[in-house]
Every structure is written in C-alpha cells, then in structure tokens.
Amino acid sequence: MAKPFTDTPILKGKDAESFLANLAETLQDFSSEQKIKEKDAKLKKMKESFDFLSTISNDVF
C-alpha cells in the first residue's frame, strides 16, 4: 500500500543559508561563458576518449 505524501520541509538557520549559498554559486557558474566553454571542452575530450577506447576494444564495454 502506498504511503501518503509528506510536506516539503522548510529550511531554517544554517541549512537555509547553506542552500542559498550553494544555489547562488550554481547559478553563477551557469552564467559564466568561460565556465560553459571549459565544461564543453571537457565533455568533448571525454567523448573522444570513450570513442577511442570503444574502437580499440571492438565495442566490448
């Protein structure tokens, strides 16, 4: 039998401050065009590495 839904907890004190600081940092990271380019370059390098490993292993993994 399913359990009833519970209300979303309300953050207070240090938890609320920590959440807001983390949220602000995350939003700031997304707004930085340089950070976006760095992440894209990192993802591209990871894909190239994966493709290389797939090629030399004949797609075993």
| Residue range 20-57, pLDDT digits in tens | 999 888 877 666 788 788 889 999 999 999 999 889 98
Cα–Cα–Cα angle for 29, 33, 34, nearest 5°?
85
CB 35 within 8 A of CB 29: yes
At residue 35, the pLDDT reads 78
**24-30, Cβ contacts within 8 angstroms, sequence gap of 24 or more:** none
Domain boundaries, the chain: 21-56
Instruction: Inform me whether the pLDDT recorded for 10 exceeds 80.
Output: yes
